[in-house]
Amino acid sequence: MTTKKTALITGAGRGIGRRTAELLLADGWTVGVYDVSGDQSWAADVRGAVPGHLDVTDPESWEAALAEFTAAAGGLNLLVNNAGILFGGEFMDNSYKGDSMIVDVNVKGVLYGARAAFPHLKATRAAGGRAQMVSISSAAAIYGTPDLAVYSTTKFAVRGATEALEVEWLEHGIEVKAVWPLFTNTGMLDGVDVGGMRRMGVKLTPEDVAQEIVRCIDHDNLASKAPTKVHFPVGLQAKALYAGAHFSPNWVTRFFNAKLTTSRRVGI
């Protein structure tokens, strides 16, 4: 039975990705600190860290990064699909190019990561280790979010991929989960001012989300006799919205989502 704990985290140069890497490193993990920005240099002299370059929109970059990391770390227990971007504002204020860029990073990045990581995770499980993939979804995947239309769309896609692969990969013993934060105080929100932020505030920190990622990782679905837990909302607001959407009619979810995210007049 292997006791190694090895994780590759995308978008690990700063924000949620960096804080997650720091928590895992402090717990004795070997962590691939991968990013496209160059900000991952903070990990150059950190014990257990393997910094590297990864463009999540490029399959060849994925293959190279995973080959590099698994050679250095001895395998892969965990992939954290953290890299993401957004545009805040009315849908028509963005462009075809802008839409494409968000989809490439947020959706293709997760799908490419899953495809590239699968053989490594499968090999880990076959050798007796625990294998997991955790992706960052969002409370914007509960109901379509105005002024974040494309971002919200991509997070629905992450939700769908997580739910589908969680079932598909059961036979391989690979756990698949998603973490769902609301607005979080990271550089991704620099220059963003949308109705949801003004009405609900930006109450989460990278620490909050990273801690939930760690709790998600620690929750062993395969060993638990409780119902399988796939989605992990972060913070009281996201948990309330997530729970409410499961127990309310769709028109109620629509109404309250609109009230919380926009000043536009929306009827029942």
What residue ranges define each of the domains in the chain, with the CATH number in brackets?
A: 6-261 (3.40.50.720)
Average confidence (pLDDT) over 142-155: 92
Exposure string (b/e) for 134-171, b if CB count within 10 Å is 16 or more?
Answer: bbbbbbbbbbbbbbbbbbbbbbbbbbebbeebbeebee
Average confidence (pLDDT) over 1-30: 91
pLDDT class of 202 with cuts at 50, 70, 90: confident
The predicted pLDDT at position 3 comes to 54
The backbone region for 184, taken as left when phi is positive above 0, alpha when psi lies in -120 to 50, beta otherwise, is beta
Q: Is the pLDDT of residue 151 over 80?
A: yes
Average confidence (pLDDT) over 118-144: 95
The predicted pLDDT at position 92 comes to 96
Q: Is the pLDDT of residue 267 over 60?
A: no
Catalytic residue among 34, 143, 151, 242: 151
User: What pLDDT digit, counting tens, does each position of 92-126 carry?
Assistant: 999 999 999 999 999 999 999 999 999 999 999 99
pLDDT class of 190 with cuts at 50, 70, 90: confident
Joined tokens for residue 28: 């004795």
Q: Is the pLDDT of residue 2 over 50?
A: no
**Against a cut of 0.85, is the pTM above it?**
yes
Calpha distance 172→134 (Å, rounded): 16
pLDDT class of 268 with cuts at 50, 70, 90: low
Which residue from 171, 167, 145, 170 is spatially nearest to 156, judged by alpha carbons? 145
Calpha distance 262→134 (Å, rounded): 30
Backbone angles phi, psi at 143, to 5 degrees: -150, 145
Describe the crossing of helices 59-73 and 109-126 by its angle, rounded to 10 degrees.
30
The predicted pLDDT at position 239 comes to 75
> Which H helix or E strand runs over 51?
strand 49-53
The predicted pLDDT at position 183 comes to 76
Q: Which residues pair with 31 in a beta bridge?
A: 7, 49
Neighbours of 91 (CB within 10 A): 13
**Can 143 be counted among the known catalytic residues?**
no
The predicted pLDDT at position 9 comes to 98
The predicted pLDDT at position 200 comes to 67
The predicted pLDDT at position 1 comes to 32
Calpha distance 166→178 (Å, rounded): 10
